[in-house]
Structure 1
Amino acid sequence: MIRVKALPEFSHWLNGVPDAKVKAVVAARVLRLSLGLPGDVAPVGEGVSELRIHFGAGWRVYFVQRGNELIVLLAGGSKKSQAADIRKAKTLAKTLD
C-alpha cells in the first residue's frame, strides 16, 4: 500500500465540498490510488498529475508521487476551475522540494 499524505490545502478543499456523496467518491478514488490502482490519471506538468473523477462536476485531485512510497495530495477542484487548480497545485508542489 502506498502512503498518502494530504496537504492542508487539499484537506481544506475537501472539507469545503458540501456534497457528502462527492466527498465519498473522492475518498474512494484516493483509497484506490493508495492501493496502486490510479485509474484515469494524466500528467499536467512540473511533476504534478491530475486524478480525474468522472462524477458530477468532473472532479479533479492534483498530486505528486515520490517514488513508490508516498503520494502527496496537493489540491482539488472541478472541471470548471481546472486551470486555476492546476496553477495552484504546481505552486504547492514547488514548496515540497
Structure 2
Amino acid sequence: MLAAMVLTAGLGLAASPVAQAAQSPAAAQAAKAPAVVCTVNDNGVNFRGGPGTNYPVLGTVNRGQKLNARGQQDEWVMGDLWGGRTGVWIHVAYLDC
C-alpha cells in the first residue's frame, strides 16, 4: 500500500481513497495549504459583519493585528482575528497580506 502511495505521489496523482483514509488527522491538516496571514496597517480600523460599509461595525483593531484570511469579495477580506472574533470583514486598504 505504501509503495502505491509513493508511486502515485511521484506522478502527481491523488492517492486512492483507501490511502487517504489511512492518513492521520495531523497529516491531513499538514497537507492543506497554509493560511494567508494579513496584518492590519492602521489604527482604529473597523471590522464588519459583511463585505461593505452597509454592514454593522462589530469592533475595531489597531496596527499589527493579525488576521487569517479565509476569503475575499471585491475589496473586502473575510477572516479570523488572532485572539479575537472570527468571520469578520476588513477592507483591503487596511491590510497587508
Same fold (TM over 0.5): no
Q: TM-score, normalised by structure 1?
A: 0.31
Q: TM-score, normalised by structure 2?
A: 0.31
Query: Which structure has the bigger radius of gyration?
Result: 2
Going by fraction, where is helix more abundant, 1 or 2?
A: 1
